[in-house]
Amino acid sequence: MSGSGMTMNGSYDYHLVALSILIAVLASYAALDLAARVTAAQGRVRFAWLWGGAAAMGTGIWSMHYIGMLAFSLPVPVFYDWPTVLVSLLAAVFTSAIALFVVSRQKMGTPAAMVGSVIMGAGIATMHYTGMAAMRLPAMCQYSPGLVALSVVLAIVISLVALWLTFRFRNDVKGKWLPKIASAALMGAAIPVMHYTGMAAAGFTPTNEAPDLSHAVSVSSLGITGISIVTFMVLGLAVITSVIDRRFSVLESSEERLRLIINTALDAVVTMNAEGLITNWNSEAERTFGWSSQEALGRRLSETIVPPQYREDYERGLQRFLKTGDGMMLRQRTEIAALHRDGHEFPVEVATSPIKFGGQWIFNSFIRDITEHKRAQEELLNAKQAAEDANRAKSAFLANMSHELRTPLNAIIGYSEMLEEETRESGEVGTVRDLQKIQSAGKHLLSLINDILDLSKIEAGKMGLHLETFDVPQMIEEIVSTVKPAVSKNNNTIQLEVAKNAGKMRADLTKVRQILLNLLSNSCKFTDHGIIALKVDRITSDHQDWVQFQVIDTGIGITAEHTQNLFREFSQADSSISRKYGGTGLGLAITHRFIQIMRGRISVDSKPGQGSTFTVQLPAEVALESGGPDRSQLPDDIPPVSQYARQDRGTILVIDDDPVVRDLMSRSLTKLGFRTVAGKTGAEALELAKKVRPLLITLDVMMPEMNGWSVLKQLKADSGTAEIPVIMITIVDNEPMGVDLGASGYLIKPVDRDRLAVLVEKYSSHTRAEANTTVHSKLTVHS
Amino acid sequence: MPKILLIEDNEMNRDMLSRRLQRKGYHVLTAESGEQGLSLARLESPDLILMDISLPEMDGWEASRQLKADESTRHIPIIALTARALKSDQAKAFEVGCNDYDTKPVDFGRLMQKIENLLVEKKAL
């Protein structure tokens, strides 16, 4: 210590010295923590952390200095010039900022560390000596150059150590608090070392000059301010940090969870960025494609898993999406070929979703290897094909058998009939009887074959329903006349009771006939000198309309035991029955099945010796089995002609060069209630069409000069006649042409009256509706 | 004596039917195929044609169509003989121009009735 006069001796309050060291340690800890945050952050957040951290750390260092000053007392009062104090604070903050910047970069090489520590050391020294310069006291301050130099060197060395420690431990955000505390302690202790060395370098000599106290504040207030700020900062930091830490850990644990989910997924999860590079590759992706995630990350996706022949398309698709937002393969599942690392291609199912994240597009795909699946599919298809082939073979077999079996039988029956006729004429009665036996055996065999074939068809599921609407009483009439010979054979009489409302039903006529004939012939067989009654009713049950047929006989009846097996194939009540009564035992089985197919019911009520009653109920409207094809190919709800006989339903133009045809057509149409106008040639057709504006035109194709097609074309070309429906009548089948040219219907000569009626009905109702005449309001509209 | 043309490919059916018809007093011509039937019809101009539907190569529908399309044979009534009794077959018979149809195996009495009806009609025309 040098100077004129006596140097003053300062004294230290060791409590405050200790406090200053504590503050330094706290500030260092904060600095370490902040360094980690700054490193982890990006963008604006990083900036915030950096300057926040600099402020905290700078203030900490500065507070330490002034607490140190508070600990030091001189015999004279000491004040501090607060503007200078402020400058020293700024110096501290700035230095801290630089320090944090240096330690938060990705790498800190030796040169950076050296430069950083020099700057930081210089900064700390600046801060210290500026702080000293802020002193206002009636004394002179002199510095020992050696100690000053030492203090600066110390500052630099300490900075280097501090920087290194901070960089080393910056990533230990969670856990491992011991190293962090240790390095904080080290750093924290080092700063006071520098400070007190600097203090030792200073010597104070009292002067008589009054200090400039214009901006002076006392140490104590500075000290208190300093402590408060630091405390608040450190506390605040601790709070913020812990909160963020917690959020981070929650985030991290949920992040961890998601990572686990993705890595344990059984689908390959692959993420790609807008440049086409792989940014995510889960464990399943590794297994599926043969690339480890280290190898895959950063590779071009298309070069990794897209087969070479599709790469160009893929890239183009990606570009198109980025430009237009249009993506064919996106937001849906697609099956495509993928490439394995070893070069083989395999089928995969891909679901890709584009995501906009932080202003960038990323593409997330879930990919599944479907090789097995495809194989199973193919096997299924093959099995289906095989089953269909077998099915077709079965149908063909049945059809063939049917034909093959019946043909020779027809010959047997036919010839024996013929020979019977011829022999009858010649008078050889014996031979006639023999021939009759052949005939009846043949007929019996035929019925057996028919039954067996029916059952085979039913078994094979090939027995379809051919639905048609028919008149019930009429059918009954036909059946009765058919069974008459069988009835009289055993001297029976037949009684009929057909309800008045029996009306019509829609069912498979052939099957219904077969059912009734079977039941009736059974009754005839097992009844002798008795009565066979046939009752037909219409009933409602289960909210449905049914037609009920009852066959009641006064025959031998059936025992309760036998009724159980009644509808089973080949089980006649008694084995002796087939010998005595004939029959195959198949009839009832077939009857039963037919009723089943039509969703009807059959029941039997019988007492041995008294007779039997068979009750059959069929829906008045039989529905097809679900999914079954409707074999009826014609619209059969044709209104009977008589209904419309006397009404004027409009005018129809009939064009034909043949007068006979013209006449016949006109008569048929008149019977249906229309007025007709006839024309002979194409020219007349066009003229009359325009003049009469008929409801409908029937047009012959084969006419001399202008044929029907040309006429049709011209009719459709003229707006006055284009709307009139035209039905082409011809002997040549050329329906497609008709449709092309705009014909509404097509009939082949000779014209079936019923078909004509249907077509005329169909097309005249359209025009009728448009014409809105009073006539049609009285008529019922047909669907 | 009315002339009937029988177009039937099955030998036994042909034989039976033609003999029985002859015994009823008709002059019977036979053809084994659609082609043969067509040329015979054009040549002989029968009064009635019995057309089996299930013929080889050209089936009975096609043969009927052609007969009705040809000026020289259009007027000859045709009875289609079909093995199936579906309404759709009936409809098809009329569509191609047949005047009537019957089912096989032939009920001779019924067939005779139909033949007679058509011949009477034809005579009336």
* Per-residue H/E/C for A725-765: CEEEEECCCCHHHHHHHCCCEEEECCCCHHHHHHHHHHHHH
* Continuous H helices in A360-428: 371-426
Q: Please name the residues in contact with A716: beta carbons below 8 A apart, sequence gap of 6 or more.
A: A722, A726, A741, A742
H helices present in A499-538, as ranges: 509-526
Q: Across residues A159-184, what is the average pLDDT?
A: 69
Q: In Å, what is the CA distance from A472 to each residue of A498, A510, A538, A620, B85?
A: 9, 13, 10, 10, 19
- Mean pLDDT throughout A145-155? 86
Q: Nearest-CA residue of chain B relative to A425?
A: B23
Between A391 and B30, the more confident residue is B30
Q: Which residues of B touch A631 (CB under 8 A)?
A: 86, 88
Q: Which residues contact A144 (CB under 8 A, 6 or more apart)?
A: A1, A2, A200, A201, A202, A203
Beta-strand runs (E) in A319-378: 333-339, 345-357, 360-369
* Backbone dihedral angles phi then psi of residue A570, each to the nearest 5 degrees: 60, 5
Q: Which of A631, A634, A748 sits opposite B97 (nearest CB)?
A: A748
Rounded average pLDDT over A453-468: 81
Residues in A touching B12 (Cβ below 8 Å): 410-411, 414-415
Q: Which residues of B touch A733 (CB under 8 A)?
A: 65
| Mean pLDDT, rounded, of chain A | 80
Q: Are B39 and B67 in contact (CB under 8 A)?
A: no
Least confident interval from A223-232, A287-296, B60-69: A223-232
* pLDDT value, residue A629: 43
Most confident of A177-186, A237-246, A426-435, A578-587: A426-435
Residues A644-655 have pLDDT tens digits of 344 567 888 999
Give the DSSP H or E segment for A470.
strand A468-471
Whether A97 shows a pLDDT value over 80: the answer reads yes
User: A584 CA to chain B: closest CA distance, Å?
Assistant: 21
Residue A779 has pLDDT above 50, yes or no: no
Check: CB of residue A657 under 8 Å from CB of residue A703.
yes
- The one-character DSSP state at A695 is S
CA–CA distance, A413 with B31 (Å, rounded to integer): 23
Q: What does the angle CA A447 – CA A448 – CA A449 come to, to the nearest 5 degrees? A: 90
Local confidence band at A468 (pLDDT 50, 70, 90 cut-offs): confident
CB contact at 8 A, B51 and B98: yes
Amino acid at B81: L
Nearest residue in chain B measured CA to CA from A414:
B16
* DSSP structural state of residue A41: -
Angle of CA points B47, B50, B55, to nearest 5°: 140
Per the model's pLDDT, the better-predicted residue between B92 and B84 turns out to be B92
Question: What number is the average pLDDT over the span A709-723?
Answer: 84
Chain B partners within 8 Å of A732 (Cβ): 69
At A550, is the pLDDT very low, low, confident or very high (cuts 50, 70, 90)? very high
Residue A573: is its pLDDT beyond 60?
Answer: no
Please name the helix (run of DSSP H) or strand (run of DSSP E) that holds residue A167, with its range, or none: helix A145-169
Instruction: Please report the DSSP string for B5-54 in residue order.
Output: EEE-S-HHHHHHHHHHHHHTT-EEEEESSHHHHHHHHHHH--SEEEEES-
A207-216, A328-337, A765-774, range with greatest mean pLDDT: A328-337
Contacts of A276 (CB under 8 A, 6+ apart): A300, A301, A302, A315, A318
> Of A68, A229, A61, which is closest to residue A135 (Cα–Cα)?
A68
Which stretches of chain A sit within 8 Å of chain B by CB? 403, 406-407, 410-411, 413-415, 417-418, 421-422, 446, 466, 468, 510, 631-634, 636, 731-733, 748-750, 752, 755
CB contact under 8 A, B105 and A733: no
Neighboring chain B residues of A415 at a CB cutoff of 8 Å: 12, 16
What is the band of A289 on the pLDDT scale with cuts at 50, 70, 90?
A: very high
Point out the least confidently predicted range of A247-251, A489-493, A764-768: A764-768
Residue A65: closest CA among A32, A95, A35: A95
Q: What is the dihedral of CA A327, A333, A336, A341, to 10 degrees?
A: 100
> Percent of chain B at pLDDT above 70?
95
Residue A148's nearest CA partner among A193, A198, A88, A192 is: A198
pLDDT band at A110 (very low <50, low <70, confident <90, very high): confident
**Radius of gyration of the CA atoms of chain B, in A:** 13
Span A341-356, average pLDDT = 92
AA identity, residue A123: G
Find which of A407, A446, A636, A637 to mutate to test the B interface (most B CBs within 10 Å of its CB): A407
Best-predicted range by mean pLDDT (A326-330, A386-390, A571-575): A386-390
Return the structure tokens found at A6: 């006596």
Give A400 or B65, the one with higher predicted confidence. Answer: B65
Give the residue from chain B lying closest to A466, CA to CA. Answer: B86
Beta strand residue intervals within A644-737, DSSP E? 651-655, 675-679, 696-700, 726-730
Position A622, amino acid: V
Could you tell me the CA-to-CA distances from A664 to A172, A654, A671, B123 in Å, in that order? Answer: 108, 10, 11, 17
pLDDT at A250: 72
Most confident of A469-473, A690-694, A765-769, A775-779: A469-473
Q: Which residue of A has its CA nearest to B99?
A: A750
Count of C-beta atoms within a 10 Å radius of residue A146: 9
β-partners of residue A618 are A547
Q: According to the model, what pLDDT value does residue A634 have? A: 32
Residues A198-209 have a mean pLDDT of: 81
- Tell me how close the Cα of A738 comes to any Cα of chain B, in angstroms: 16
pLDDT in tens, A19-33: 888 888 877 777 777
C-alpha dihedral, A132 to A136 to A141 to A146, nearest 10°: 0
Helix (H, G, I), strand (E, B) or coil at A548: strand
Strands A675-679 and B100-103: unpaired
Residue A626 has pLDDT above 60, yes or no: no
How far is the alpha carbon of A415 from chain B, nearest alpha carbon, in Å? 6
A410 to chain B: which residues are within 8 Å by CB? 12-13, 104-105
For residue A773, the model assigns a pLDDT of 40
pLDDT reading at A436 higher than 70: yes
The CA distance from A399 to A393, in Å, is 10
B-chain residues near A510 (CB < 8 A):
85
Helix, strand, or coil (residue A266): coil
CA distances from residue A221 to A82, A234, A235, A630 in whole angstroms, order as listed: 11, 20, 21, 106
Max mean pLDDT among A28-32, A74-78, A183-187, B31-35 falls in B31-35
The one-character DSSP state at A621 is: B
Task: Provide the pLDDT for residue A155.
Answer: 82
Cα–Cα distance, A449 to A484 (Å, whole number): 24
Q: Which helix (H) or strand (E) holds A613?
A: strand A611-619
pLDDT at residue A4 tops 60? no
Task: Using the predicted structure, report yes or no on whether residue A118 has a pLDDT greater than 90.
Answer: no
Q: From CA B42, how far away is CA B55, in angstroms rounded?
A: 19
Q: Are strands B27-31 and A493-498 parallel, antiparallel or unpaired?
A: unpaired
Whole-angstrom distance, CA of residue A732 vs CA of residue A747: 9
Contact A752 B95 (CB under 8 A): yes
